[in-house]
């Protein structure tokens, strides 16, 4: 197969292990690139209220304040006396 591709002149630098890579026919303009990228954006984080301590937290996460998840204590809160 490799021999055939060399013979018919289709052997290019984009060849990777047994096949030709698809190569774009034309370059995209700056305008087209910028129009596509104008839709790239981050969504705002969706905070919910912890049912236990009523502080804002991310959904489906253990509460960083009280360590509860679905009213079950998963991570016991650290005692502040140990730090000093
Ligand atoms: Zn909480």
Report how far apart the first and last C-alpha atoms of the chain are (Å, whole number). 72
Ligand 1 centroid vs 35 CA: distance in angstroms?
42
| Distance between CA atoms of residues 61 and 67, nearest Å | 9
Neighbouring C-beta atoms of residue 76, cutoff 10 Å: 8
- pTM of the predicted model as reported, rounded to 2 decimal places: 0.48
Q: What is residue 16's predicted lDDT score, i.e. its pLDDT? A: 58
Ligand 1 centroid vs 73 CA: distance in angstroms?
10
Structural domain boundaries in the chain: 45-77
Q: What is the 3-state secondary structure (H, E, C) of the chain?
A: CHHHHHHCCCCCCCCECCECCCCCCCCCCHHHHHHHHCCCCCCCCCCEECCCCCCEECCCCCCCCCCEECCEECCCCCCHHHCC
Per-residue tens of pLDDT for the chain, all 84 residues: 455 444 444 455 555 566 788 999 999 999 999 999 999 999 999 999 999 899 999 999 999 999 999 888 888 877 766 555
Cα 42 to its chain centre, rounded Å, is: 11
Ligand 1 centroid vs 60 CA: distance in angstroms?
12
């Amino acid at each position: 197969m490799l021999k055939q591709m060399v013979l018919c002149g289709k052997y290019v630098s984009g060849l990777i292990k047994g096949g030709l890579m698809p190569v774009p026919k034309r370059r995209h303009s700056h305008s087209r690139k910028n129009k596509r990228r104008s839709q790239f954006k981050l969504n705002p984080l969706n905070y919910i209220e912890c049912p236990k301590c009523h502080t804002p937290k991310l959904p489906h996460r253990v509460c960083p304040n009280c360590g509860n998840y679905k009213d079950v204590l998963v991570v016991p809160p650290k005692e502040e006396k140990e730090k000093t």
